[in-house]
A and B are shown apart, each in its own frame.
Chain A
Amino acid sequence: MAVDERLALAKELVVQLEAGNEQEVQRITSELSSGNESELFQEVGRLTRELHEAINEFLLDPRINEMAQVEIPDASERLSYVITMTEKSANTTLSAVEAGLPLAEELGSRSTEIAGKWERFCRRELSVDDFRELSRELGGFLETAQRCSQQLNGHLTDVLMAQDFQDLTGQIIRQVITLVHDVEDKLVQLVRISGHKMPEKQKDMNKLEGPVIPGVDQGNTVSGQDDVDDLLSSLGF
């Protein structure tokens, strides 16, 4: 509305006010403000349309559907499989170690036994009979050593082969990381559409954090056993 138009209306308003003509006063007042209102309505209309379009676009994005229906359930399956594989590997390794330890112990204790006699033999302290016994023991020991080392070899190979999970779990976890990034992007878009200011992230104090992960802020954590020991000794431990 032009300035002179508004000026004319304002003057008319004064006249009608002085005359106490309430109906006219209202008509002029609403005419004066109508320009602003229509601008406001237009702006609200535009924003509504934009929001509507953004939401539609978001809902129509096939990636969202795909992620929710297929990829996230898939990712859970994959991660469960990672747990299965790593657990299986740990158990195989532990079994091989548990089977190998007694063999190493046997080799150690038998050789300690023989070493004592061998030293006496080197010092020429053994009688002929003792020597016969020693050579019999040596024969037996060599057989044991062959058997144990063969078995140990087998167990060590088991340990070696049990590490084959690393390659597979690495690939699976990498796929899941990519998915998490995609989901994060979509969530950020959603937040942008809703236009809400996100409340400050609040950590649940009672939630257990689990292992310290380098590069992830987990609050006030210790950096290792030395730190724990320092903390405890400061508490009088």
Chain B
Amino acid sequence: MNKNMKILIVDDFSTMRRIIKNLLRDLGFTNTQEADDGNTALPMLQSGNFDFLVTDWNMPGMTGIDLLKAVRADPNLVKLPVLMVTAESKREQIIEAAQAGVNGYVVKPFTAVTLEEKISKIFERVEG
């Protein structure tokens, strides 16, 4: 796994972005950027050469699920690994995210270990 990969963190709460950013840094990923909803994130993804997207679901403006669908609909982003980190925990929602092409799903509240586990699992599959 390339520790220099460029990661976009999308969450409407700045504190949650800071937490994820710090956890990622602790795991050795320092090349991170932030956006506060899908509308801000999508243009960044389209022009920014990102390797990985970590997104919340419930955000004003464009939600995480809509961002995921937009990413999968864009031929340049269709293969971008996406990890959803969200408090949404209805079974239908998890299935919806899976069908929309999410690569991993972490429910809040989560631990550093869970985040690391999901990220390494995603990249095992992507690279393997």
A residues contacting B by CB (< 8 A) are 87, 90-91, 94, 97-98, 101, 205, 208-212, 218-222, 224-225, 228, 231-232, 235, 237
Q: How far is the CB of A72 from chain B (nearest CB, A)?
A: 23
- Pair B107/A235 contact, Cβ less than 8 Å: no
In the complex with contacts A98-B22, A208-B58, A228-B107, A221-B15 CB distance below 8 A: no
Residues of A within 8 A of B90 (CB): 209, 218-222
A97 touches B22 (CB 8 A): yes
Contact (Cβ within 8 A) A94 B58:
no
Supposing A90-B15, A94-B18 touch, asked if A221 and B58 sit within 8 A by C-beta, the answer is: no
* A231 surroundings in chain B (CB, below 8 A): 91, 94-95
Interface 0/1 of B102-113, CB less than 8 Å to A = 000111111000
Question: What is the CA–CA distance of A97 and B22 in the complex, to the nearest angstrom?
Answer: 9
Distance A222 CA – B89 CA, assembled complex (angstroms): 6
Identify the B interface with A (CB < 8 A).
14-15, 18-19, 22, 57-58, 63, 87-95, 98, 105-110, 114
Could you name 22 residue pairs across A and B whose Cβ atoms are closer than 8 Å? A91-B14, A94-B15, A94-B18, A94-B19, A98-B18, A208-B63, A208-B88, A209-B89, A211-B109, A212-B107, A218-B90, A220-B90, A220-B91, A222-B89, A225-B114, A228-B94, A228-B107, A231-B94, A231-B95, A232-B94, A232-B105, A235-B98
Q: Which of A221, A225, A235 lies at the interface centre, i.e. has the most chain B CB atoms within 10 A of its CB?
A: A225
CB–CB B108/A211 < 8 A:
yes
With a cutoff of 8 Å between Cβ atoms, the chain A residues found around residue B89 in the complex are 209, 211-212, 221-222, 228
B22 partner residues in chain A, CB cutoff 8 A = 94, 97-98, 101
Assembled-state Cα–Cα distance A237/B106 (Å): 13
Residue in chain B with minimal CB distance to A220: B91
CA distance A212 to B108 in the complex (A): 9
CB distance from A235 to the nearest CB of B (A): 5
Q: Which B residue sits closest to A221, measured CB to CB?
A: B89
> Would you call B15 and A235 a contact (CB within 8 A)?
no
Besides A205-B92, A212-B87, A218-B90, 12 other CB < 8 A contacts?
Answer: A94-B22, A208-B88, A209-B90, A210-B58, A211-B87, A212-B89, A221-B89, A224-B107, A228-B94, A228-B106, A228-B107, A232-B98
List the A side residues contacting B14 at CB < 8 Å.
Answer: 91
Cα–Cα distance between A217 and B61 once the two chains are bound (Å):
27
Residue picked from B18, B19, B109, most chain A C-beta under 10 Å: B18
Q: How far is the CA of A73 from the CA of B93 in the complex (A)?
A: 34
B84 closest partner in A (C-beta): A228
Interface centre among B90, B93, B95 (most CB of A within 10 A): B90
Report how far A208 CA is from B58 CA in the complex, Å: 7
Please report the C-alpha to C-alpha distance between residue A224 and residue B87 in the assembled complex, in whole angstroms.
10
Q: Which residues of A contact B105 (CB under 8 A)?
A: 228, 232
Q: How many Å lie between the Cα of A222 and that of B106 in the bound state?
A: 11
- Distance in Å from the Cβ of A126 to the closest Cβ of chain B? 34
Please measure, in the bound complex, the distance between the C-alpha atom of A198 and the C-alpha atom of B105, giving whole angstroms: 38
Cα of A217 to Cα of B106 in the assembled complex, Å: 21
Q: Which residue of A lies closest to B14 (CB)?
A: A91
Q: Nearest 10 CB-CB pairs, A to B?
A: A211-B87, A90-B15, A208-B58, A221-B89, A220-B91, A94-B18, A222-B89, A212-B89, A235-B98, A221-B90
**Whole-angstrom distance from the CB of B8 to the nearest CB of chain A?**
19
Q: How far is the CA of A174 from the CA of B63 in the complex (A)?
A: 31
